Amino acid sequence: MITTDFVPGSPCWIELSSPDASASAAFYRELFGWEVVPTGPESVGYWMLSLDGTIVAGLGPVMGESERPAWAVYFADPDVDDTVLAVERLGGTLVVEPFDVLGFGRTAQFTDPQSGYLGTWQAATFQGFDAVDRPGTLCWVELWTPDAAGAREFYGELFKWGFTDFALPGEAGTYTILTPAGLGQERAHGGIMQVEPDGLAATGGAADWHPVFAVENCDAAVERVRSAGGQVYMGPESTPGVGRLAVCADVFGSGFVLLAPSPM
């Protein structure tokens, strides 16, 4: 369960990079009802996205020709600079040096040893999203990786996460549930799944952190994805004990999952 508490090692923010922020905003407005909240001239084209007046995500321009449009997940971090040292020691790669963001907090971005991109956020005046775990907001984060064992080793050392494995149906392999350090299963915030390289074609074989958004009706949400110009790669399909889900992408290919959770 993702919450708005600033728990070290738990997701605290998601951010979409886009070559056309207005087109991306229009897509997510049709899908979830999100609205744009301008953040002022100092933000260099960066917008907040809100649902019913609560901040749920960020939206900014793609930085440079080599960056692909994508969702990025940020994890709460009490000391970004210390984390960067640990990332490099554990075999990750620093992508963006630590820097302060207009008094809101401090951040850095890096990739794990399987090239999965993520960020960390050391809050000052801005903790992160205001709403999660309800329709139209983030409810889970997921890492698809070509090396699940390597990912566990890296993130276990970096964030001290707890891991719980369970077998997927048929020959789909093992799914690993992630919990913040020292907390129980009721605070699980994400999962790791090993994926063959051909299943990571959109990232060139690199690992991929992506958001899972809660919806009331997955089938209806999938139709909104299509009508807004997005893609549906898998589903909707039902998974016992989880809910009904679909793997999708927006108008620029940024991937995400829709989930109508099973009743508790």
Whether 114 maps to a domain, the answer reads: yes
Q: Which domain holds residue 85?
A: 11-123
- What is the rounded average pLDDT of the residues 21-31? 97
pLDDT at position 1? 73
Whether 52 maps to a domain, the answer reads: yes
Kindly tell me if the per-residue pLDDT of 32 is higher than 90: yes
Q: How far apart are CA 104 and CA 46, in angstroms?
A: 14
Where residue 46 sits, what CATH number does that domain have? Answer: 3.10.180.10
The three-state secondary structure class of 89 is: helix
Q: For 68-107, write each residue's pLDDT tens digit.
A: 899 999 999 999 999 999 999 999 999 999 999 988 999 9
Q: How far apart are CA 248 and CA 207, in angstroms?
A: 17
pTM of the entire predicted model: 0.94
CA dihedral 108, 113, 115, 119 (to 10 degrees): -20
pLDDT at position 4? 80
Whether 38 maps to a domain, the answer reads: yes
- What is the rounded average pLDDT of the residues 116-121? 96
What residue has token string 């998974």?
239
222 exposure class (CB count in 10 Å sphere: 0-12, 13-18, 19+)? buried
Whether 98 maps to a domain, the answer reads: yes
Kindly tell me if the per-residue pLDDT of 171 is higher than 70: no
Among residues of the chain, what percentage have pLDDT more than 70? Answer: 95
Total structural domains within the chain = 1
DSSP 155-193: HHHHH--EEEEEEPSTT--EEEEEE-TT--GGG--EEEE
Look up residue 151 and give its two tokens. 């990912």
Whether 35 maps to a domain, the answer reads: yes
Whether 66 maps to a domain, the answer reads: yes
Which pLDDT band holds residue 223 (cuts at 50, 70, 90)? very high
Kindly tell me if the per-residue pLDDT of 172 is higher than 80: no
Between 105 and 262, the higher pLDDT residue: 105
Whether 116 maps to a domain, the answer reads: yes
Whether 238 maps to a domain, the answer reads: no
- What is the rounded average pLDDT of the residues 192-215? 89
Between 95 and 172, the higher pLDDT residue: 95
Q: For 44-76, write each residue's pLDDT tens digit.
A: 678 999 999 999 999 999 876 667 899 999 999
Q: Who's near 97: CB < 8 A, 6+ residues apart?
A: 84, 108
